[in-house]
Structure 1
Amino acid sequence: MGISEFNSRVMELFSHYPPVSERLPLPPQQIPIAYAVVILAYFFGPGFFQTQITSYVLMIIAFYRPFFTSGDVVTDYTMSSMFFVLWIMHVYHAGNKDGGPRYIGNPEKPLPGGGVGDRDSPTYLQKLKWAVRLTATPRGIGWDWQVKNVPPHPGANLPPLQFVWGQVVEVVWRTALKAVAVYVIGVCKAVQLSTTSLVADWLLDTTVAWCGAVWSWNTIGASNAAGAAITVMLGICEPWEWPPVFGSLGDAWSVRQVWSTSYHQLMRKPFQFPGLRLARFLCLKKGTFGSRYLQLYSTFYISCCIHRYQSYIVSRHENGEFAFFMLQPVIISVEDFLRWVWRKSVSPKQKEDLARFEVLIGYFWTIAAFTFTLRYVIKGWVGIGLIGGGGPDEKAALQLGLQHGTMYLQGW
């Protein structure tokens, strides 16, 4: 089968979906069914039959998802990928040969007996609790499979009410920050309609791109803080189970560092897993050049595909996700090569003397790389209403920005 024939068949498959304006209301049972089937699969333990049933149900739901809408662009975009994420996580955990992941609790206060709560728990209630916990955690906090680079948790031992109050404060300031970012985007978009200067247009695009990054960063942060506050307040979780979702921006001295340390690790396991399996299938040894870069590119490719699916759900076309996500591994490969050349060209003594210079150059490189790549995806997200359509606060901020930008042009 040639590439053109493959593309025509893919387009024929997507032609069955209705236009965005003709989608039906999202059935309320879709998300509960997805979670229920995964919980039951964990409850009954790994096996060929369980995996096949789980995969079938989740893929059927994902296949039919473009027919429906929740009525909200942000909800449609962010929640539509959960079926794929749940499926990859299930396949990952089903491949564990040690009886499944173990819930070990607070590392500072280990559970009696070195950890309890696996699929072989003595009672059905304990096993069900284990399955629900496993389905609900994307980073493995309190589990023996916790992802790497989870930030230190300064509030782990705070009293629940004090922790909840801190999370509420975080929700407020992050919401305010993303509203300011959306407001600036509105001003820039209004001014951009009348500008004829290429330099001014580039500066406005760059401002919109970085404001979009601020919006994304604080949208995720506010959602995480809200989830922490609600679950701790209701007694479902303890403060130690909610470490910060982001690492320090001070560690973002390279593009690789941004994605591996500073940015959230919420989907690290499911996106890395297929690359790890593929490397093993190809007999690539762990830590080798081939294994590392196969995992790097496959991880970003999976992330790209899922984000493109999310875009298709809300707009029926791609919105810059491919350019943004697939440029990241290319940039990381280039910076890895440049760092390798640097290490080979500079003696250990010189490298120590130039350590601050190296970090400073790294920051400039990272800022330049994201200034270039963010423009693709943020422009698309603003265009489909993902940025600026997240709630009354964002919509008001965007409209106010557009009005003030228009007033500025009239006055000028």
Structure 2
Amino acid sequence: MAEEQGRKFQHPLSLPLHHSILILSLLASPFRYRRALSLALIICTFPPLILRPYSPDPALSYGIATLWVFTLRVLTIHVFSRPTPEAALYRPQLEPPGAAAGYSLPKKLRWTLSLLVAQRNVGWNNSVVESTAAQQRRRGRWGYAAYVLTKVLGIYLLLDISRTIVLQQEWMLPLDHPAYRPLGDPRRSIPARLVDVATNGGSAWGYMELQYLLLSLIFVGLGDDEASWPPLFGSLWDAYSVQRLWGQVWHRMLRSSLVSWGRAVADCLGIREGTARFLVVVGTSFTISAVGHASAIWTADKSLGGGALRFFLMQAAGVGVETGVVAVWRRVGGGNVQWGKWVGYAWTLAWLTYTCPMQAEEMVTIGLFKTDPVPWSVTRWALGMQ
């Protein structure tokens, strides 16, 4: 096991071993015990990825630990795809059900990778039809490359500006500095907290969007249909409730996996429909997400993780609160009002401002914000800042 100054890090082969198993479990031809064997191997090889950090770099260790989203996706596919993933999941425009079971190795590998990276299952038989995907303009391979590179430059600048602003905040000062205040200090002004939400949210959005666009550029360059790469995020104009923020606006990489488990829990409880089923699905989804995100923080620092856990559980609570308020409003005869959305925007922003420090403070503690998200700061160079 690699070590540095007494700290133990995961074996360098742990990461490629686990993700090779994820791919091979779907790449292998169906056989009687494939599901059981795949689940066992995936579960057994996952703990080393979170029990110890990957490297001394907290950003890299945290990023590696967040790859649990792919682990969850493959587990979900194996558990809920009956009788086999090849029979249950297919691309209607490219193949009939079950055809993937007879594919050659190169073709099956392409099928497997397409299944793993398909956002919201676009192009697959279990996709959710969305206007963003349906209305996506076809640009052609070179037009798409130009679109991606232009957007990447804009995101690069956004990340640079966000990090420059973050570096000026009092919670980035040394702990013994007289002006230091924790990110969640109640004495900090409301405008300062709103800046935190904007910069931290913008940085998280930009970092994920950047990776997604570059990955899509590679796949489209290799011949993938650009329609298979719909926008990763929705419009901020749809964020007029906590539910819509997480279900429609924020990235939906986890949505299909989390909802499957949530529905399974509701079925086990015998809750088949209505608001109760919706709340069980939401509660289960955010609980799984909370554990996953908390484990990524815990990987970098074994004393942390509770803040991330509280943050995501509070999002479920927020959905519950607004669901109850809407139900009461309708019961007393209230209808749709013109100012309803603006109240929703204010509520969602207030809830985020209140809950975000729970997780963000832990990210500050592990040193996640000390690593620059861009290799060279144009903004700081232009302003003459170190």
Query: Are 2:73 and 2:116, in contact at CA under 8 Å, matched by a contact in 1?
Result: no
* 1:230-281 Cα distance to aligned partner (Å, 9 max, x none): 2222x14221111110111111111111011111111112222222222222
1:296 aligned residue (276, 282, 301):
282
Residue 232 of structure 1 corresponds to which residue in structure 2? 220
Residue 354 of structure 2 corresponds to which residue in structure 1? 372
Residue 34 of structure 1 corresponds to which residue in structure 2? 18
- The alignment status of 1:57 with 2:57, answered yes or no, reads no
Letter paired with 2:111: W
Letter paired with 1:377: Q
Residue 219 of structure 1 corresponds to which residue in structure 2? 207
Residue 176 of structure 1 corresponds to which residue in structure 2? 157
Residues 122, 214 of structure 1: alpha-carbon distance in 2 compared, 3 angstrom cutoff: closer
Q: Distance in 2 between matches of 1:312 and 1:20?
A: 20
Q: TM-score, normalised by structure 2?
A: 0.84
Q: Distance in 2 between matches of 1:158 and 1:265?
A: 24
Deviation at 1:325, TM superposition (A): 0.4
- The alignment status of 1:313 with 2:299, answered yes or no, reads yes
Residues 166, 210 of structure 1: alpha-carbon distance in 2 compared, 3 angstrom cutoff: same
> Where in structure 2 are the equivalents of 1:12-411 lying within 5 Å?
22-24=7-9, 26-27=11-12, 29-44=13-28, 49-65=33-49, 66-83=51-68, 85-97=70-82, 99-100=84-85, 101-104=88-91, 110-111=93-94, 115=96, 118-121=99-102, 123-147=104-128, 151-152=132-133, 154-189=135-170, 193-194=178-179, 199-200=187-188, 203-233=191-221, 235-285=222-272, 287-319=273-305, 320-346=307-333, 351-352=335-336, 354=337, 356-393=338-375
Query: Are 1:255 and 1:366, in contact at CA under 8 Å, matched by a contact in 2?
Result: yes
Query: Are 2:81 and 2:89, in contact at CA under 8 Å, matched by a contact in 1?
Result: no
User: What is the percentage of aligned positions where both structures have the same residue?
Assistant: 18
* 1:368-401 Cα distance to aligned partner (Å, 9 max, x none): 1111111221222123222341545488979999
Q: Distance in 2 between matches of 1:198 and 1:325?
A: 20
User: Helix, strand or coil: the match of 1:129?
Assistant: helix
Deviation at 1:149, TM superposition (A): 5.0
RMSD: 3.4
Residue 10 of structure 1 corresponds to which residue in structure 2? none
Q: Distance in 2 between matches of 1:357 and 1:380?
A: 36
Q: Distance in 2 between matches of 1:84 and 1:220?
A: 13
Deviation at 1:74, TM superposition (A): 2.4
Residues 45, 214 of structure 1: alpha-carbon distance in 2 compared, 3 angstrom cutoff: same
* 1:136-177 Cα distance to aligned partner (Å, 9 max, x none): 435322111225657336544211111011111111111211
Query: Are 1:275 and 1:299, in contact at CA under 8 Å, matched by a contact in 2?
Result: yes
* 1:336-369 Cα distance to aligned partner (Å, 9 max, x none): 111112222235xxx35x2x21111111111111
Gaps in structure 2 of 5+ consecutive residues: none
User: Helix, strand or coil: the match of 1:181?
Assistant: helix
Deviation at 1:188, TM superposition (A): 1.4
Which sits farther off after the overlay, 306-315 or 96-105? 96-105
Residues 229, 375 of structure 1: alpha-carbon distance in 2 compared, 3 angstrom cutoff: same
Query: Are 1:213 and 1:374, in contact at CA under 8 Å, matched by a contact in 2?
Result: no
Letter paired with 1:178: L
Q: Distance in 1 between matches of 2:358 and 2:46?
A: 26
Q: Distance in 1 between matches of 2:131 and 2:178?
A: 43
Deviation at 1:184, TM superposition (A): 0.9
Query: Are 2:66 and 2:296, in contact at CA under 8 Å, matched by a contact in 1?
Result: yes
Q: Distance in 1 between matches of 2:328 and 2:277?
A: 21
Q: Distance in 1 between matches of 2:290 and 2:379?
A: 29
Q: Distance in 1 between matches of 2:148 and 2:261?
A: 34
